[in-house]
């Protein structure tokens, strides 16, 4: 069977392509933007990629077309699918029908931290010997791949997104997954292009809650007011609570650590079990992610001690505080943060482990919500943990970043070209500095170009 995927280089659709290939299907796909790490991952699996959209990509006619939610009417390939009456479906629907049905499903939802939390959860299950399947919106470095079937009798971990499903199905993607265990990690306003307000997103999260069976479990962050409101709409499933509080009695699961110390911590499961561990990640937000994953893994028989030992060997997913390289003592770090809360959490986490040197933040406001300007009033405060901020003004952004830059309390500059941005960083960066690059896109290859430019600077200085 030949499956053709439209939007194949998106994190979800690319992962779905890997599962389809593992099931034995012939898989091809097209996309307007083909860039690593997804493009290299797909090519390594022998999946043919077509740059751009057009009717010719549908020759010979595939048996089924899976259409991503980035595609809409007017797209030439979508129009060809409809005009030729080719069978088509959405990614989430295909996943439910061909992968998820008949096995325990653990879905990880939340505005922030889905990729990291799902990666941790899959790793905890793997460490416990369960060989889980998973589909994650990134590449977990403990596995080196974003999706796999695993043991078909083992749990399947799915990163559960509230964004809509497809142009022909405007429900949130996660309502298709029918999880046995749903992790609700946090919830605030996002996706301003499709949701009017936070209440609209809370409604979608309650739709997810409605799909979890009474014999399943809801793993809920007890510190999130929005999630409390979601449960007040109705709950028919046992609730397991977790939170980052020193008072263990607040939730079923807690984490304790010294102030400012987030690399060494103790997991607590109520008053019954605890385990102290150390890991490579930083920031209080990642401790909460670990706590959520440990609580969810426990529903599948993973002990607190097993979870703690597994966390000590966990490597963050690619593009989540990922160290891309070090030149002349200058670290270049890649992070997916594209929301003020995520930006602030990332910078605060890195600041908590900062040694000598400065923290330089490089930010591209690229997401749909950012392009609409909905979050721009919160951006100046979100970068307060940095020493310097370098903003990039994409051509697609219809508002000026200069206003945000002027409101920053830290040294802040705006750039309209990647070349000028790289030149400024190369001129400014000094040994022991950390440069953290934050975008939900490729950023025009900024990371590698910056590392090359820093290398060239070092060579010149040595001559």
Write the DSSP assignment of 270-283 as a string of letters.
TTTEEEEEE-S--S
* pLDDT band of 67, cuts 50, 70, 90: very high
CA atoms of 350 and 437, how far apart (whole Å): 12
- Per the annotation, does 463 bind a ligand? no
- Pick from 331-340, 353-362, 428-437 the range whose average pLDDT is largest: 428-437
Lowest-pLDDT choice from 28-37, 121-130, 138-147: 28-37
The model's pTM = 0.79
pLDDT digits (tens, 9 = 90+) for 169-220: 999 899 999 999 999 998 887 766 667 788 898 999 999 999 999 999 999 9
Higher pLDDT, 185 or 34: 185
C-beta of residue 277 within 8 angstroms of C-beta of residue 311? yes
Q: How far is CA 296 from the centre of its chain?
A: 18
Structure confidence at residue 248 as a pLDDT band (50, 70, 90) = very low
* Strands of 308-353, DSSP E: 322-327, 330-335
Q: Which residues are paired to 264 by β-bridges?
A: 278
How far apart CA 321 and CA 281 sit, in angstroms, is: 8
| Equal CATH topology for 2-90 and 101-311 | no
**Complete edge-to-edge strand list for the sheet that includes strand 64-67:** 48-51, 26-31, 2-6, 64-67, 88-90
CA–CA separation, 407 vs 403, rounded Å? 7
Say if residue 173 carries a ligand binding annotation: no
Nearest to 65 by CA among 51, 83, 44: 83
pLDDT band at 35 (very low <50, low <70, confident <90, very high): low
Given a cut of 90, whether residue 55 has pLDDT beyond it is yes
Nearest Cα to 81, choosing from 52, 56, 98, 48? Answer: 56
Highest average pLDDT, of 93-107, 283-297, 436-450, comes from 93-107
Q: Are 326 and 432 in contact (CB under 8 A)?
A: no
Sequence ranges of the domains in the chain: 2-90, 101-311, 322-462
460: pLDDT strictly greater than 80 = no
Kind plus residue range of the DSSP H or E element containing 242: strand 239-243
| Total count of residues recorded for the chain | 463
User: In angstroms, how far is the first alpha carbon of the chain from the final one?
Assistant: 59
On whether 272 is known to bind a ligand per the annotation, the reply is no
CATH classification for the domain delimited by 2-90, as one of 3.30.70.100, 3.40.50.720, 3.90.79.10, 3.40.50.2300:
3.40.50.720
Q: Is 153 annotated as a binding residue?
A: no
What is the fold of 322-462?
Answer: 3.90.190
Residue of 99, 98, 148, 102 whose CA lies nearest to 126: 148
Give the relative orientation of helices 446-462 and 418-428 as an angle to the nearest 10 degrees: 40
Least confident of 248-257, 263-272, 289-298, 325-334: 248-257
- Mean pLDDT of the residues in the chain: 87
In this structure, of 205-214, 302-311, 370-379, 449-458, the range with the lowest mean pLDDT score is 370-379
**Does position 246 have pLDDT exceeding 50, yes or no?**
no
Q: List pLDDT tens digits, range 219-228.
A: 999 889 999 9
**Contact present, 256 and 268 (Cβ < 8 Å):** yes
Question: What pairing do the DSSP bridges indicate for beta strands 388-392 and 253-256?
Answer: unpaired
Cα separation, 374 vs 385, in Å, equals 22
pLDDT at residue 28 greater than cutoff 90 = yes
Give me the CATH topology for the region 101-311: 3.40.1190
pLDDT digits (tens, 9 = 90+) for 343-356: 887 788 778 776 77
Instruction: Decide which of 321 and 255 is more confident.
Output: 255
For residue 247, pLDDT over 70 is answered with no
Q: Is 191 within any annotated ligand binding site? A: no
pLDDT tens, 392-445?
Answer: 888 878 788 888 888 888 888 888 888 988 888 988 888 888 888 888 777 777
Query: Is the Cα dihedral 256, 257, 262, 264 positive or negative?
Result: negative
């Amino acid at each position: 069977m030949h499956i053709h995927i439209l939007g194949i280089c998106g994190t979800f659709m690319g992962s779905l392509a890997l599962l389809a290939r593992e099931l034995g299907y012939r898989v091809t796909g097209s996309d307007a933007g083909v860039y690593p790490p997804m493009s290299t991952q797909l090519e390594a699996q022998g999946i043919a990629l077509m740059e751009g959209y057009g009717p010719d990509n549908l020759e010979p006619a595939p048996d089924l077309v899976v259409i991503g939610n980035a595609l809409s009417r007017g797209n030439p390939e979508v129009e060809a699918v409809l005009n030729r009456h080719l069978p088509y479906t959405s990614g989430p629907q295909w996943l439910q029908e061909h992968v998820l049905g008949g096995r325990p499903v653990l879905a990880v939802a939340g505005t922030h931290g889905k990729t990291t939390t799902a990666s941790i959860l899959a790793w905890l299950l793997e460490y416990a010997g369960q060989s889980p399947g998973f589909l994650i919106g990134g590449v977990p470095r403990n596995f080196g791949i974003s999706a796999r079937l695993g043991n078909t009798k083992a749990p399947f971990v799915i990163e559960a997104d509230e964004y809509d499903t497809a142009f022909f199905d405007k429900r949130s993607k996660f309502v298709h997954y029918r999880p046995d265990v749903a992790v609700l990690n946090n919830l605030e306003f996002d996706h301003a292009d499709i949701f009017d307000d936070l209440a609209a997103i809370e409604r979608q999260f309650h739709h997810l809650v409605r799909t979890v069976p009474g014999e399943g479990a809801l793993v809920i962050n007890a510190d999130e007011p929005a999630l409390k409101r979601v449960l007040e709409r109705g709950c028919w499933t046992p609730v397991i609570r977790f939170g980052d509080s020193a008072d263990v009695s607040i939730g079923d699961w807690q984490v304790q650590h010294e102030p400012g110390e987030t690399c060494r911590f103790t997991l607590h499961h109520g008053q019954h079990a605890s385990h102290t561990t150390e890991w490579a990640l930083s920031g209080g937000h990642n401790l909460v992610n670990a706590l959520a994953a440990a609580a969810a893994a426990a529903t599948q028989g993973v002990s607190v001690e097993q979870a703690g030992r597994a966390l000590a060997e966990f490597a963050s997913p690619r593009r989540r505080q990922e160290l891309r390289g070090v030149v002349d003592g200058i670290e270049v770090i890649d992070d997916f943060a594209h929301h003020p809360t995520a930006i602030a959490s990332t910078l605060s986490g890195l600041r908590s482990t900062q040694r000598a040197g400065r923290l330089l933040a490089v930010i591209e406001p690229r997401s749909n919500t950012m392009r609409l300007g909905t979050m721009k009033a919160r951006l100046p405060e979100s970068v307060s943990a940095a020493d310097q901020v370098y903003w990039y003004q994409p051509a697609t952004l219809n508002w000026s970043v200069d206003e945000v830059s002027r409101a920053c309390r830290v040294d802040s500059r705006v750039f309209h070209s990647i070349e000028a941005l790289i030149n400024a960083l190369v001129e400014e960066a000094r040994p022991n500095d950390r440069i953290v690059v934050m975008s939900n896109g490729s950023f025009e290859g900024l990371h590698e170009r910056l590392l090359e430019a820093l290398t060239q600077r070092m060579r010149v200085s040595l001559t």
